[in-house]
Structure 1
Amino acid sequence: MSLRLLISRPLRTNIGSITQSPCWRRPPFLIPSKLIVPSSYSGFRNYARLPPFQHHQHHPSTSPPSTPSPPPPKPSPFEESNPDDAYLLSYDSLNESSPKPAYAVFLVRFILASVAMSAIFLYSSIFAVLAAYDHSPYLSSIMRSSPAPVTATLLAANVLLFGLKRGVPALTPALVRFGYLRLDILSATHRISTRLSPALSIFLSSFSHRNFPHILLNGVAFYSFGSYIEVLDGWPTLLILAAASISGSAIGSLVLQRAHAPSIGASGVCMGFLSYLAMRQPDMDLSIMFIPFIRLSIGMGTLGMTAWSVYGVARTWISRGTVSNMLDHGGHLGGLIMGYGVYKWQHGNEKPVRRRNINPYPYSF
């Protein structure tokens, strides 16, 4: 299973005016990982720990009973702090005062920018691969010795960006700023490029990852599907599919979801690979990651991922944006749609390739 994460920002509020009001009786419901209480309101924190029946008995002149405070609840693994959060500035720090454009104009600009970046990536990658084969004997020998050299190169780019973000602290602010697709800021400003959300993040967010488990899961899925496609149909098809899935996942993240949060990860591309293979070779079997003894057909796996993504998208719309997902289901669904579209564009009404008809090395250089 691959992940494209939606990073929720903590709710920050000033409760000083609430605690000083004479008509205030009891504190709001506190969620430790969501509500940040200023340190100066220690009396408020002690007051909030009293049992409910003692709230009306407490008076500012008397000290609360000296009972040991319960330990704070342990956060879940998905709420643990991440070094990237220090550089994910909120919309309030943008100080945007100019009027925002109409949403239709912003949406057209976003789609055009996403398609243009994917097209530049596609043509520059094709040129680089051809140049490596024709003009560099060393690179040519390396690529000839690997069954899926382009897939390995794209995966190495993901690993390199993550390694630089964690290993070179001076580059972390820039890589976080360019590596997160700030859907929250885009939907608030209706601008494809701001100081906190550069336009290049529309493309680079599909090559960036939040933590080691995130890049591990996406990396295994990326190489498993991508290398198979490269062996089956060649590296040009792989690059076309990757470029289309990058664009489709970015557009799906913005358009299909109602609750917007920073998005990051290459799983939109992995979903494009998955739906392409499901149409190209429907009798292929899949095994669940890290549980290889559980197998299912690729058609059932794709259908399950599509249903899960549709449910996640519908959940945000039914709740009117009040409920957000940890996974970017809109990006997943956009990648699935683009994978199906690339198959129909390239193969049309051809019969799917059955396992007995596979040429394991269709392209030779």
Structure 2
Amino acid sequence: MSPILLLIIAITAIVSYRGLNDNAFFRKYEFHIGSIRAGEHIRMITSGFLHGDYGHLIFNMLTLYFFAPVVIAYLGVLHFVLIYFGSLIFGSLLSLYFHKNDYYYRAIGASGAVTGVLYSAILLRPDMDLYMFFIPIPIPAYIFGIGYLLYSIYGMKAKNDNIGHTAHFGGAIGGYVITISQVPSMLYENTLMVILLAIPIVLLFILEKTGKI
């Protein structure tokens, strides 16, 4: 297991623990539109190390633990770090774009970065299967990835929960773009998968441009 991966997990766990036990610390570093637009841009990164509860933290870190090794094995540690933090920033930028006029909008969590790593792993290993504890059969990773982003579009439209769907989507875009930029050969070696994973991304921007989201 990569020491860098373990370090990211450890720092995220420590910062999340501090945030869950220190409300002032939590509020200082969370993603908050009003504060970011006032110049506190560091929140776009620090918010990725905070979580709303221990379940949220454990789910994200377990997902990262299982899928990051795929990215590291194919691209190396440095490119994994680039994808992780690049996806985190993509997620924050997309959230800022969609919620720029909602000065009270708040969000936290590594979900954007983790989703970027997940999307990268799917691009690199499209034949990979996922196993869900409540589903007795393996699910092709690309089906899960597409379904997850379609659900995120629904969540962005419905606005009936506190989940940062926009950051998930931005993270997926980050993982998609950065991975293809690092392995452009997949554009012709794995064209179908590249197109399939692009469908929900294109759909999101069509809905945004037509004012339906």
- TM surpasses 0.5: yes
Query: Superposed, which structure 2 residues align to 1:4-23 within 5 Å?
Result: none
Q: How many residues align?
A: 186
From 171, 192, 200, the equivalent of 2:42 is 200
Supply the AA of the counterpart residue of 1:175: F
Letter of the 2:161 counterpart = N
Contact 2:71 2:124 in 1 (8 A): no
CA contact (8 A) 2:31 2:107 kept: yes
Letter in 2 for 1:337: I
Q: In the TM superposition, what are the counterparts of 1:166-177 in structure 2 within 5 Å? A: 166=20, 172-177=22-27
Q: Matches of residues 232-243 of structure 1 in structure 2 within 5 Å? A: 232-243=74-85
Offset of 1:294 from its aligned partner?
A: 3.8
Cα distance in 1 between the residues matched to 2:91 and 2:49: 12
Larger Rg: 1
Distance 1:294 1:256 in 2: 37
With over 3 angstroms needed to count, the CA separation of the structure-2 counterparts of 1:308 and 1:191, relative to structure 1, is same
Task: Please say if 1:346 is aligned against 2:182.
Answer: yes
Q: CA deviation at 1:309?
A: 1.3
2:149 to 275, 299, 306: 306
Post-superposition CA distance 1:178-230 (Å, at most 9, x none): 331113x25xxx8243xxxx432111001111111111111111111112222
Partner of 1:329: 165
Q: CA RMSD in A?
A: 2.2
- Alignment correspondent of 1:191: 37
Higher helix share: 2
Question: What is the distance in 1 between the residues matched to 2:69 and 2:4?
Answer: 8
Distance in 1, matches of 2:29 and 2:57, equals 13
CA distance in 1, matches of 2:86, 2:54: 26
1:17-50 C-alpha deviation (Å, 9 max, x unpaired): xxxxxxxxxxxxxxxxxxxxxxxxxxxxxxxxxx
Cα 1:330/1:208, change in 2 over 3 Å: same
Structure 1's unaligned 5+ residue stretches are 1-146, 316-322, 353-365
Match of 1:245 in 2: 87
Looking at structure 1, the residues matched to 71 and 152 of structure 2 have their Cα atoms a distance apart, in angstroms, of: 23
Change (3 A) 1:160 1:292: farther
Q: Secondary structure at the match of 1:337?
A: helix
Q: Given the two structures, how large is their TM-score scaled by the length of structure 2?
A: 0.78
Establish whether residue 229 from structure 1 lines up as the match of residue 71 from structure 2.
yes
| Structure 1 counterpart of 2:118 | 274
- Structure 2 contact 67–118 (Cα < 8 Å) conserved: yes
1:205 alignment partner, SS class: helix
| 4+ residue runs over 4 A deviation | 257-260
| 2:127 counterpart residue number | 283
| Percent identity (aligned) | 23
Q: Which residue of 1 aligns with 2:4?
A: 150
Do 2:128 and 2:141's aligned partners in 1 also have CA atoms closer than 8 Å? yes
